[in-house]
Structure 1
């Protein structure tokens, strides 16, 4: 499966789970970039489990994590 197809599949499966609010591409690294909110108290175990699952589903591509809050538009 191509990098773009993998990103689409991961987006459908993981956006909205465990603080993941966007999934993009890091073409220079041939990797998937995952944007997630910083975990709140008690959420870290769930987030860790979700990220492990996402990393397995992304293989053979590496996953790069970016922690930032989602953009808000007025």
Structure 2
């Protein structure tokens, strides 16, 4: 599995865990909703700074974006 796919799956998982829509996550992070969708569809790759911002909004450790799907996902 490619890293971009792992990040996309974990972003979607973390967003769902917080019961946030793409629009709500984008609004809280101060970014465009379309960008969140593009990250989740693997059409764009987030910068380290963007992952840090998304992790803050999702109240997660940024490393959670890189965990394989069979690994437990601790929250910050």
TM-score, structure 1 normalization: 0.34
Higher strand share: 1
Higher helix share: 2
Q: Which has the larger radius of gyration?
A: 1
